[in-house]
Amino acid sequence: MTKLKIGVLGIQGDFLEHLHILSALNVDTKIVKYADEIEDVQGLIIPGGESTTIDRLMDDEFRESIVDAARKGMPIFGTCAGAIMLAKKIHDAKEWQRPLGLIDIEIKRNAYGRQRDSFDAVINIPSLGTIIRAVFIRAPEIINIGPKVKELANFEELPVLVQENNILVSTFHPELSANPSVHRYFLTFVRSN
């Protein structure tokens, strides 16, 4: 049996924080910087950062590798900017932005304001049986979800953690919380894949 290895997209953003939390959960990790490295992992995390920068740095081969892996069932987890990249539609996209379109959500970039408007809040995640201190940094807002998208948690009546099949996204940064429940949940469905 192949040992579980989780890739964290390492072209921009807070990928190191994801590596730390996965390490604390005793999971092998790999920083993914090239398209062919996706074949070496059983799950992929696209971290927070600058969605426009990640978009520009991701060439067509990289995009195709991620989309192909997702369509073959690889679990993918996007946080903050990663959620923007995985969305079907970006409400306020730059004209050149190309989301990967892997989860049926419409998302609005920087919905909560600038960096100085960042905040944290305690949210309940009933399906995981936990509460978590959610850190929102220039967070996007999910403004519409498709019929097959499952809302796992909300904040002020807006979805902040959603899943459609093998794609999980959060508008907050669970890697900055002391509670590893969201990552543990992601690992559960990676293992069952």
List the catalytic residues: 80, 173, 175
Give the CATH number, domain containing residue 122. 3.40.50.880
For residue range 64-106, what is the model confidence (pLDDT) as tens digits? 999 999 999 999 999 998 999 999 998 977 777 888 999 999 9
Q: Is the pLDDT of residue 109 over 90?
A: no
Give CA–CA dist 13/82, Å, rounded. Answer: 9
Q: Domain count of the chain? A: 1
Domain with 130, as residue range(s), is: 5-191
The answer, yes or no, to whether residue 160 has pLDDT greater than 90, is: yes
Looking at residues 141-152, what average pLDDT do you find?
96
Q: What percent of the chain has pLDDT over 90?
A: 66
Q: Span 54-63, mean pLDDT?
A: 85
Amino acid, res. 30: K
Q: Please state the pTM of the whole predicted model.
A: 0.93
CA-nearest of 7, 13, 187 to 83 is 13
